[in-house]
Structure 1
Amino acid sequence: SVPLNAQQQRVVIKIFDLTGRLVRVLFDREVAPGRYEVIWDGRDAHDNELASGVYVYRLEAEGTMMSQAMTLVR
């Protein structure tokens, strides 16, 4: 849960591998205040299945940035 301003704003979610390489921009759009769920299918920007392992997502929203590691299991 990420607190956002009570105004519409741009939200970007990017997925990186552990070397820091950007593998996919998962979400990039203007959103109104509310609760959202974004599901990653384990694919890169070219629709290739990625290997099992640890990846990092980064969420950016006007003045807020957070990152979290996640494990992809095939």
Structure 2
Amino acid sequence: MAAEVLARAGASVTVYEQMPSMGRKFLIAGRGGLNITHSEPLERFMSRYGDKQDALAQSVSAFPPESVQ
């Protein structure tokens, strides 16, 4: 989130990832109870997944924010 905010403000941002594949820690963290939510319109949230959003739409629709808070 910090990188995104800084980049939108015009800063040059470089994100480094220690894990072998980017985002892997979030897959692993799910087992420990880490919950990641977005508070933005669903259309914008889904647009972040590009051509994969159709595959994700059914799962996201099954668990709207109200049901997981």
Q: TM-score, normalised by structure 2?
A: 0.22
- Structure number with the bigger relative contact order (C-alpha 8 A, sep ≥ 6) is 1
Q: Which has the higher strand share?
A: 1
